[in-house]
Each structure stands twice: as C-alpha cells, then as structure tokens.
Amino acid sequence: MSPVRKPRVLVCDDSLLMRRVLTDLLVDGGLDVIGQVTDGADLLASVRALSPDVVTLDVEMPRKDGLATLRELMIERPTPVVMVSTLTGTGARATIQALALGAVDVVQKPALRLTPELWGRTRDELLEKVLNASHARIRPMLTPPPELERARAEIAATIAPTRDVPRPGPKMFGRAGDVVVVIATSTGGPRALHELLPRLPARVGAGLLIVQHMPVGFTRPLAERLDAESALTVREAGPSDAIRPDVALIAPAGHHREVVARGCVALSAAPAIGNLRPRADITIASAAAVYGRDVLVVVLTGMGNDGEVGARAVKAVGGRVLTEHESTCVIYGMPRAIQRAGLCDSAVPLDSMHLAITDVVSHR
C-alpha cells in the first residue's frame, strides 16, 4: 500500500519570523511546506510554479495585499486558501471579505512568543483547518463581485412571478400555510451564502433561518455584508427574534437556536454538540416540531454530518429537504450525509438553488 501523500503547503507572510513560526507549526504537525513567499506578487508566481495543495495567506503585505491576491488567485488559479492574519480575529471585516472571495477558512495569527501550551493549541487549529482545506474543491466565483448587480437584475426577471406572491400580513402570520426555510452550512458556507442570498427575490414568501458554523464574533459582520448585497433583509438573530417573511436570521456563533413557536426563535447557551454551537440539527428538528410539513431544509457545503438528524425529523412530518449538488460544494460532507441517509428530495447546483427554494415555497 502506497503511503498517503502529505498536503503540500505554501506559506505567504511578509514577516520572516512569522513565516518560520508557521512553517515550524505545519512541519511539526506532519505537513509538507514546499515554499515561503513574502507577498502577493511572489505568491501568484509560486502557485503557478509549485502547484500547492493549500496556501496560507496573510492580509497585510507590501506591494499586493492578501485580499487583492486572493481575488486574483481565485480567478487565475483557484486554490484552497487559509487566511492567517491579525486581521482575521474576532469581528474583523477582512475575515468576511476573504471568505466571500473564496478562502476556505481563517486562523488568528499566532503570537511570536508562544508558550508550549499555546504552541500546541495554535498548531492543532492550524493543522485541522489546513487539512480540511486540502480536501476542498475550489472553483471560480459563480458571480464575480463586479457583475453582481447585473446578474441580480437578470435573475429577478427570471423569477419575476414569485415576486408577486402576497406578503403575509399580521392576520395571516402563524397559519398553516406559512413556510420556514432553514439553511445549514459550514466550511465554504460564507462564499455559498454570498452566491445564494443575493439571487433570492425580496419577497420569498417565507422566513429564513441560517446556521453557519463560525467562530464567535464573525456572524454579525457576515450578516451585515449579506444584507448589503441582498434584496432580502439579513441580520444576526437576537435573543428572542421573530421569524418574519422575507427576513433571513443568521444564528449567532456561540449559541444554539431553537424554534419555540410559530414565528418565534430562542437562543440557548447549552453545551456544544459535536464541537458545534450552533448546531443545525437543533434548529431544524425544532422547526419540524413546530411547523410540520411547512419546513424546507437546505443543506449547503460543509464538513461533517450536521443537519442529518434534523432532516430526518423534517421528512417524518412531510417537509422537504434540498442539498447542494456535489459539483458545486467546496466540501461535500454535510450534503453527502443527507444523501447517504436517503433524506434528500433533490440535489441542486448552487447557481440554481434560489430557483429551487422559490419553487418549493410557492407550492407550499
């Protein structure tokens, strides 16, 4: 049996000392560092020459910064990228921009003077995310950012009939015809959400609950960026927010979210399940218990099997389950789990998912 090939990593940082620290962390964890470069201009040439499996990339660099480099890399030679920077810490908008451009994950740049305990903790996080990224399928953006407005107009014209669906008023809210859409995603999810939500019409005719696995502090800037790009209202959910038609609520990182009644969600600080908080299974299963057949679950790219238990509950009450097609997933993990369990009604490429959602909602 031939040995498993180690992922080949290219490290990019303008600090010689930091390049050495990152290289030591990666090599200590058993990975193969095939090169080190100082900035974005050098990185693009090295990617062409070395064809790494994963790139670690800083944000602040001379000549060409990390975000500009990432944007160009995703167009010229899509490659799995893990951002490693002081600007990828809690709440940093650069993090969300990097993920929207196609970075697989982000890691806070380690302190230069690491204690043995912190060295191990930082190494473990870096190794896990780089290893996950080595399995990612990276493709060009379905909708390049400069063309977003033009694409949005074309899509709006395509699904114009659904825009005339009456918005449920206060007297209609909570009746059997109301529909809730739960979207679950993990690795690769921010980019998928940036491609999906701007394609949805302003009047979907359903409330949307989004569970995106992210570190604490990242979900609010993610919601703000998606809100700016979408016809829908998108925001981070509060402690006792309401499910309203045509509003997308993103579960805040660090809390589980449960549907407690028609139109009502609550947040919980209960322990993480499988190292996940929020756990999509909790949101989906509770939505099934309250809304019955009027639940649509959409499972997008991500590691693991979060969503499978919830999808089983949804199918038991007659709801619908859609998964992102393998061909467009960055990581075909969560959708694969749904498929293997026989719970998927349809596997849909990401660039058609908005049409599938509006079609299901309009027929419920």
| Catalytic residue positions, numbered | 186, 213, 306
Q: Which two tokens stand for residue 313?
A: 């509950």
Residues, the chain: 364
The answer to whether the CB of 159 falls within 8 A of the CB of 358 is yes
Q: How far apart are CA 96 and CA 168, in angstroms?
A: 32
Start-end of H helices in the chain: 16-28, 40-50, 66-76, 93-101, 116-134, 148-158, 189-196, 219-229, 280-291, 308-316, 334-340, 353-363
Q: Which residues pair with 77 in a beta bridge?
A: none
Q: What is the DSSP code string of 202-234?
A: S--SSEEEEEE---TTSHHHHHHHHHHH-SSEE
Amino acid present at 48 = R
Q: Which of 252, 159, 257, 244 is nearest to 207 (CA)?
A: 244
d(CA 243, CA 228): 20
Q: Tell me how far CA of residue 327 lies from CA of 78, 101, 312, 323, in angstroms.
A: 15, 19, 24, 11
- Cα-atom radius of gyration of the chain, to the nearest Å? 21
Residue 265 φ/ψ region, left for φ over 0, alpha for ψ in the -120 to 50 degree band, beta for the rest: beta
